[in-house]
Amino acid sequence: MVPRFSDVMALRPVEARPGRFAANLDENWTIGPKVHGGVMVALCAKAAREAYLDEAAADPAGVRAVAVSVNFLSAPDPGAVRLDTAVRKRGRRIGLVDVELLAGQRVCVHATVTLGALERSGDAPVLTVDQAAARMSPGPPAGVAAIAPGHPAGEINNLARGCHIHPVVPDPPAAGEAPLFRTWVRPRDGRVDDLFALMCGDISLPAPYAAGRRGWAPTVQLTAYLRAIPADGWLRVVATAAEIGQEWFDEDHTVVDSAGRIVVQTRQLALVPAR
Tell me the mean pLDDT in the region 64-89. 97
Tell me: pLDDT of 130 over 90.
no
Tell me what percent of the residues of the chain surpass a pLDDT of 70. Answer: 99
Radius of gyration in angstroms for the set of CA atoms belonging to the chain, rounded to a whole number: 18
Q: What is the pLDDT of residues 131-161, one digit of tens each?
A: 888 889 999 999 999 999 888 888 899 999 9
Alpha helices (H) along the chain: 5-8, 37-55, 194-200
The more confident residue out of 125 and 78 is 78
Tell me: pLDDT of 220 over 70.
yes
Question: Side chain identity at 165, as an amino acid letter?
Answer: I
Phi, psi angle pair for 124, to nearest 5°: -75, 140
Q: Give the CA distances from residue 84 to residues 23, 55, 103, in Å, rounded to whole numbers and listed in that order.
A: 11, 14, 11
Asked if residue 227 lies in contact with residue 264, where contact means CB atoms within 8 angstroms, the answer is yes
Asked if residue 222 lies in contact with residue 230, where contact means CB atoms within 8 angstroms, the answer is no
Can you tell me the distance from the alpha carbon of 99 to that of 45, in angstroms, rounded to the nearest whole number? Answer: 8
pLDDT at residue number 113: 98
Lowest mean pLDDT of 28-37, 167-176, 183-192, 251-260, name the range: 167-176
Q: Is 164 exposed, middle or buried (0-12, 13-18, 19+ CB in 10 A)?
A: middle
129: pLDDT confidence band, cut at 50, 70 and 90?
confident
pLDDT at residue number 58: 66
pLDDT at residue number 57: 61
Can you tell me the distance from the alpha carbon of 20 to that of 174, in angstroms, rounded to the nearest whole number? Answer: 49
Q: What is the pLDDT of residues 31-72, one digit of tens each?
A: 999 999 999 999 999 999 999 997 666 677 789 999 999 999
pLDDT at residue number 33: 94
Asked if residue 4 lies in contact with residue 65, where contact means CB atoms within 8 angstroms, the answer is no
| Domains in the chain with CATH codes | 5-118+130-271 (2.40.160.210)
Can you tell me the distance from the alpha carbon of 182 to that of 188, in angstroms, rounded to the nearest whole number? Answer: 19
pLDDT at residue number 17: 85
Question: Side chain identity at 39, as an amino acid letter?
Answer: V
Tell me the mean pLDDT in the region 199-209. 94
Tell me what percent of the residues of the chain surpass a pLDDT of 90. Answer: 77
pLDDT at residue number 56: 65
Q: Is 179 exposed, middle or buried (0-12, 13-18, 19+ CB in 10 A)?
A: buried
Tell me: pLDDT of 121 over 80.
no
Can you tell me the distance from the alpha carbon of 37 to that of 255, in angstroms, rounded to the nearest whole number? Answer: 16
Can you tell me the distance from the alpha carbon of 163 to that of 80, in angstroms, rounded to the nearest whole number? Answer: 22
Tell me the mean pLDDT in the region 175-195. 93
| Residue (of 123, 120, 46) closest to 83 by Cα position | 46
Asked if residue 163 lies in contact with residue 151, where contact means CB atoms within 8 angstroms, the answer is no
| Residue (of 189, 224, 210) closest to 65 by Cα position | 224
Q: Give the CA distances from residue 221 to residues 25, 51, 173, 192, in Å, rounded to whole numbers and listed in that order.
A: 20, 23, 25, 25
